């Protein structure tokens, strides 16, 4: 006989699991959440939130530089890494306590333990207890993946360890070309480190619009970040307090730290999924689910990064909420994964929603491109050599705005609002009819009148 019986057992106390637990409890369900580490999950504890705090810290360097052009004389500033990390840790602890308190207020029980399936309804906990659940939600997220083992892989850190370094490295090599790699490259560069990025592809930010990829790379390189594409780290040798990374192109890079950010794998190992009969998706390695986040076992569900669908915190939260509405609220709800806004907190920042130019041209017979590349107003006095990019992708037949891509200050803040318009299927005429807010960078979105390019299937008219 099980030690506890519940209506819903949630494996994982991250954003998706916490939201699902709270909503399900609100519908009257008896809910138990098992979290083996810290409540809050990747985003709160070792992801989006602490990373954004470090991004803010790295911006200060540029603000001090820009101040001179606006008449400010600022004495030589110094930076203390341990102070930043200690303050970051305090904030994460505060947020974790809020997550825990919100679960308590909702009547959700929490157990600090690892859960493993024994059968389709029974799970054993690392504290020795067993739980029998009517429904189970798997929300255990994903973990950094170092890829194929190479000599010296034990010297490499991931985005988990980077938040707990004792000192700021003078030189760091980062392998990867996506969100995490580039954001940390800009963080460390902004804090004064010498940064080298190594990426196997031909250009960074695979999957993003090609103009965005080119623009971000140019800006990062202009800021002093060295980006090496078309190669990988083949081995890492420790040499005293330094590491020598041998690259596949035959060159070597010496640094105090080596970080890999080349992807994340769903946390499916060691859960006992085979005992429960839960199937994996052979295409992405995540737990296979249907539109309602239901697995191959009718009463077992999965949300968030462990499904490897769209690995973003707000998506996991929406999936968790929809699950609870469907199963406990008698309101069947599917999550629409189309036109989800996202940001990359590089310097400059990236904000994007909808289709890239390449995607649009493959799906629509006629595509109009509107693009503005300009020096932002702030840079006119600061003297900073930077440019901003704004791009609209438009269906040339229906006039609907299919995508928007922004690179520059506050791109993430801007794209959140633009995402509403794209989701509502706004047209270019709707954008044109919107009065500009001057002087702002965002006004370019409603003042671009002439296409920079028009593409007809099989023909391109610039």
Instruction: Give residue 339's pLDDT.
Output: 96
Look over the chain and give the mean of its residue pLDDT values, rounded to a whole number. 95
Overall pTM surpassing 0.85 (yes/no): yes
CATH superfamily of 153-262: FAD/NAD(P)-binding domain (3.50.50.60)
- The pLDDT tens digits for 13-47 are 999 999 999 999 999 999 999 999 999 988 889 89
Fold matches, 153-262 and 342-461: no
Unique residue bearing structure tokens 């295409």: 283
Res. 147: pLDDT tops 90 = no
As a whole number of angstroms, the distance between CA 254 and CA 245 comes to 6
DSSP label of 335? -
pLDDT-based confidence at residue 459 (cuts at 50, 70, 90): low
Q: Confirm or reject CATH 3.40.50.300 for domain 342-461, answering yes or no.
A: no
The full DSSP string for 268-319 is: -TTS-HHHHTPPB-TTTSSB---TTSB-SSTTEEE-GGGGTSS--HHHHHHH
| Listed residue (440, 336, 425, 423) closest to 388, CA to CA | 440
Q: How far apart are CA 78 and CA 386, in angstroms?
A: 25
The tens digit of pLDDT for each residue in 402-445 reads: 999 999 999 999 999 999 999 999 999 999 999 999 999 999 99
- pLDDT tier, 5 (very low <50, low <70, confident <90, very high otherwise): very high
299 is catalytic: no
Report residue 211's pLDDT band, with 50, 70 and 90 as the boundaries.
very high
Find out whether 113 and 127 touch, Cβ atoms under 8 Å.
Answer: yes
The predicted structure's pLDDT at residue 418: 98
Average the pLDDT over 159-173 and give the result.
96
pLDDT at 407: 98
Asked if the peptide bond before residue 439 counts as cis, ω within 30 degrees of 0, the response is yes
Residue 91 pLDDT more than 80? yes
How far is 280 from 225, CA to CA, in rounded Å? 39
- What is the 3-state composition of the chain as percent helix, strand, coil, each rounded to the nearest 5? 35, 25, 40
* 119 pLDDT above the threshold of 80: yes
Is the separation of the CB atoms in 20 and 102 below 8 Å?
Answer: no
Model pLDDT for residues 44-90, shown as the tens digit of each residue: 898 999 999 999 999 999 999 999 999 999 999 999 999 999 999 99
Catalytic residue among 121, 146, 438, 455: 438
Whole-number pLDDT of residue 14: 94
Protein fold of 4-144+265-328? FAD/NAD(P)-binding domain (3.50.50)
Question: Domain boundaries in the chain?
Answer: 4-144+265-328, 153-262, 342-461
């Amino acid at each position: 006989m099980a030690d506890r019986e519940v209506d819903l057992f949630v494996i994982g106390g991250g954003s998706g699991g916490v939201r699902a637990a709270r909503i399900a409890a609100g519908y009257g369900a008896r809910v138990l959440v098992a979290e083996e580490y810290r409540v809050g999950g990747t985003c709160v504890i070792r992801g989006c939130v602490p990373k954004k705090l470090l991004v803010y810290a790295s911006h200060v360097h540029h603000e001090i530089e820009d101040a001179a052009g606006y008449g400010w004389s600022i004495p030589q500033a110094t930076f203390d890494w341990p102070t930043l990390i200690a303050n970051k840790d305090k904030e994460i602890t505060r947020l974790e306590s809020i997550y825990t308190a919100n679960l308590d207020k909702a009547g959700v029980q929490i157990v600090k333990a690892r859960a493993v399936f024994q059968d389709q309804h029974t799970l054993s906990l690392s504290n020795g207890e067993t739980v029998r659940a009517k429904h189970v939600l798997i929300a255990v997220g994903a973990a950094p993946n170092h890829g194929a083992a190479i000599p010296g892989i034990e010297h490499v850190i991931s985005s988990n360890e980077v938040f707990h370094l004792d000192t700021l490295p003078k030189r760091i090599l980062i392998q990867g070309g996506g969100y995490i790699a580039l954001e940390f490259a800009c963080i460390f560069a902004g804090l004064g480190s010498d940064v080298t990025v190594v990426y196997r592809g031909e250009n960074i930010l695979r999957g993003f619009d090609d103009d965005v990829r080119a623009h971000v790379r140019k800006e990062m390189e202009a800021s002093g970040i060295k980006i090496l594409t078309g190669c990988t780290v083949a081995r890492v040798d420790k040499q005293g307090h330094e590491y020598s990374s041998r690259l596949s192109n035959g060159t070597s890079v010496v640094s105090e730290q080596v970080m890999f950010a080349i992807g994340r794998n769903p946390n499916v190992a060691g859960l006992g999924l085979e005992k429960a009969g839960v199937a994996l998706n052979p295409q992405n390695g995540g737990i296979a689910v249907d539109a309602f986040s239901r697995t191959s076992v009718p009463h077992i569900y999965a949300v968030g990064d462990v499904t490897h669908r769209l690995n973003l915190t707000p998506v996991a939260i929406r999936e968790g909420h929809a699950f609870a509405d469907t199963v406990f609220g008698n309101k069947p709800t599917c999550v629409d994964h189309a036109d989800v806004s996202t940001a990359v907190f590089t310097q400059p920042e990236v904000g994007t929603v909808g289709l890239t130019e390449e995607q649009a041209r493959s799906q629509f017979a006629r595509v109009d491109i509107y693009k503005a590349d300009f020096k932002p107003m702030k840079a006119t006095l600061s003297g900073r050599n930077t440019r901003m990019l704004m791009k609209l992708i438009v269906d040339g037949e229906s006039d609907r705005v299919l995508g928007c891509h922004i690179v520059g200050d506050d791109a993430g803040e801007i794209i959140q609002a633009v995402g509403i318009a794209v989701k509502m299927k706004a047209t270019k005429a709707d954008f044109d009819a919107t009065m500009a807010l001057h002087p702002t960078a965002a006004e370019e979105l409603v003042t671009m009148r002439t296409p920079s390019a028009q593409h007809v299937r099989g023909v391109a008219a610039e």
